[in-house]
Structure 1
């Protein structure tokens, strides 16, 4: 049943810790993962929205790790961000996915925001404010189709529209959304989550990633009080950047984390609970030669995917250190597409193979291990991997630069 979700404001009594190094970020992620993992099955089964877990994430300071040094942040590498997402999503991919748009939006702010906007919004993040997202409209039209718009009223600009796939909005302070300005040009509008006219119904009901709350945001004649809340993205239509690759590498890291978690669960289940097959001649399931071989095969495929993922992150870090050209943006999209293909494949393979390796006892409803495959299946649909193959083939065969948008 659709209902309005209770929100916890991160600034209410929670001031984030300061993270300044890669090692500190990884340690913080590992502490969160240790807390999240034992509760993941119950959260999924009962669809308990992770308000406390996200508040804990905010308190660690992880939400600010990409804030540039010029604005008071640590400006940690994209490689660090990738490893943080992988760690969190190995523990619980539903909770781990929630900050994805927070970081994607911060990248766009870095590329397209004014100095005043950067000072304001980066400052908010350093204070513990969270950024959500009001995603594409729910329509059979292409994802760039947009009827959400700003219109002029007697008291200023007002925003109206109904968005979906709004991961993070329920937990956010700011909800940026794409809209058409009064002249019909695409802009990004930053809307306070508690502004009059903003409604966030808890209407996400997917069979996987059940607690991401990736449902609707409704803007009903919302007053936009300042021009500072509007980023004119139409001005960057022909300017290359890394916003798309950054968004996509986070998706690949989530899938890699799902695979890491599934292989970890499979190994533990086989060791502790599975029985050997009668024809194996083994006294323990972990001595079954076919299970051993399958675990080895999954592990090497996972390591390969992780290495390609990390190489892509290193490339993005290298490219971000200089002005981004069209060629550099294309190289980034190609590298991330390679990672996305391999992390998608290992997430799906590892989660499906899990039950074959662990045996029929792993399918008991009380264990809720079915969430592993459901999460992988749902999240890997975020954008179609078949188009990643097309992107790579067109690049290598025809030298075609990938289209620049948030899914490349």
Structure 2
């Protein structure tokens, strides 16, 4: 082990030590407590594009970022049903905050699957202390999403990392930035780069109309030295059957499910408080309009169906995590794909239907209700659900297992 890779004090030492969550019930209870806080200024943060610095400190120090650390390393290792529920609860309050730990949680699973014993001891301790991982995974302008140009080149004692990344959710407020790169064998690896490392620059240039406060931006990687102990052979997670992909996807589905809940709740609140009935309904209040009632019923059914598929997907991942056979992993991939399709379509629909049912007044800037649709439309673009329809159909009709990658 190189001297530079010796265990160090947590880089989040300026923050209070994170609470240690012991079980699933405690995780869900804390998520509800935080969601009540995060909801209060979510609309203002979005309108002002104000990064949730204090909120993120509360979130990571609550212990929720460490709930998937294995028990043998001190974590609660909650079920994936609970993981999805926690992400959904937080995302209903503020989906930008809900999305930020997406890749942190992904990397915890990556370490669990393929980290060395030293890496697990070192990084799991940091996670339980409240340290946050960001990400520098995706690039822009390449042939496809898995065409990685960032390179890790061998040098004395480790590697030199160089490249440029985009869509770096959470990186601006992270303590470490895991970077997807190709090594000298053209294998996909993840290099863990500590914030403040020479050559690492994260630019605050995220300009999307949705998910505006995810602390994302461009990440520049200029000849950064990375000790060999900080490099994870991430390709191994997809060379064999694992739940790496399904866990990545269920977190995304949970964010979208949270957005759907928020849009439906705000639709109901606005209709109850402000919406006038249409003249042909011959009723006094908008909430008595039979066609509005019918549409609220339809949206509610879709949101509840999304919740059910999300829970079912979590149960499938739990089974495949315990017994990672080809068949179990494929079943988990398909279950998550089904949840992802419905959460995507329900979130986008709920964000749009809000205005149809609530009426013209709901479009006023003072309410900022368009954030639900903007957030849903932006976050659901991570991968195309049209391909999930194909994989689900091919699995059920022809018994064809889906490919293994982070988007399935």
TM interval, shorter chain, is: over 0.9
Distance of 1:304 and 1:160 partners within structure 2 = 45
Q: Deviations over 1:121-173 (max 9, x none)?
A: 10100111011110211124111111111223457421111011111111211
Q: Deviations over 1:312-334 (max 9, x none)?
A: 10111122122x12222111110
Equivalences for 1:334-349 in 2 at 5 Å? 334-349=334-349
Give the RMSD, CA atoms, in angstroms.
1.4
Counterpart selection for 1:58 from 57, 60, 73: 60
Q: Give the aligned partner of residue 364 of structure 2.
A: 364
Q: Give the aligned partner of residue 293 of structure 1.
A: 294
Partner SS, residue 85 of structure 2: helix
Equivalences for 1:220-299 in 2 at 5 Å? 220-224=222-226, 226-299=227-300
C-alpha deviation, 1:231, in angstroms: 1.1
CA contact (8 A) 1:305 1:339 kept: yes
Q: Give the aligned partner of residue 405 of structure 1.
A: 405
Aligned length: 398
Which ranges of 4 or more aligned residues in structure 1 deviate by more than 3 Å?
A: 152-156, 234-237
Partner SS, residue 219 of structure 1: strand
- Runs of 5+ consecutive residues of structure 1 not aligned to the other structure: 1-8
Partner SS, residue 203 of structure 2: coil
Partner SS, residue 365 of structure 1: coil
TM-score by length of 2: 0.95
Distance of 1:53 and 1:13 partners within structure 2 = 12
C-alpha deviation, 1:38, in angstroms: 2.0
C-alpha deviation, 1:233, in angstroms: 2.6
Q: Deviations over 1:359-396 (max 9, x none)?
A: 11100012111111111111111110001001111212
Distance of 2:305 and 2:336 partners within structure 1 = 14
- Residues 153 and 80 of structure 1: CA distance in aligned 2, closer, same or farther (over 3 Å): same
Distance of 1:351 and 1:235 partners within structure 2 = 39
CA contact (8 A) 2:38 2:94 kept: yes
- Residues 236 and 248 of structure 1: CA distance in aligned 2, closer, same or farther (over 3 Å): closer
CA contact (8 A) 2:238 2:405 kept: no
CA contact (8 A) 2:32 2:89 kept: yes
Q: Give the aligned partner of residue 123 of structure 1.
A: 125
Q: Deviations over 1:252-288 (max 9, x none)?
A: 1111100000111111111112222222222211111
1:15 matches 2:44: no
Distance of 2:14 and 2:307 partners within structure 1 = 38
1:135 matches 2:137: yes
Distance of 1:277 and 1:44 partners within structure 2 = 32
CA contact (8 A) 1:10 1:55 kept: no
Counterpart selection for 2:182 from 180, 183, 188: 180
C-alpha deviation, 1:236, in angstroms: 4.7
- Residues 264 and 236 of structure 1: CA distance in aligned 2, closer, same or farther (over 3 Å): closer
Partner SS, residue 58 of structure 1: helix
- Runs of 5+ consecutive residues of structure 2 not aligned to the other structure: 1-10
Partner SS, residue 106 of structure 1: helix
CA contact (8 A) 2:15 2:57 kept: no
Counterpart selection for 1:44 from 32, 43, 46: 46
Distance of 1:87 and 1:152 partners within structure 2 = 43
Partner SS, residue 159 of structure 1: strand
Partner SS, residue 132 of structure 2: coil
Partner SS, residue 190 of structure 1: strand
Counterpart selection for 1:199 from 188, 201, 223: 201
Distance of 2:91 and 2:154 partners within structure 1 = 43
TM-score by length of 1: 0.95
Q: Give the aligned partner of residue 166 of structure 1.
A: 168
Distance of 1:143 and 1:301 partners within structure 2 = 31
Partner SS, residue 283 of structure 1: coil
C-alpha deviation, 1:406, in angstroms: 0.5
Q: Deviations over 1:72-98 (max 9, x none)?
A: 011111111101111111111111111
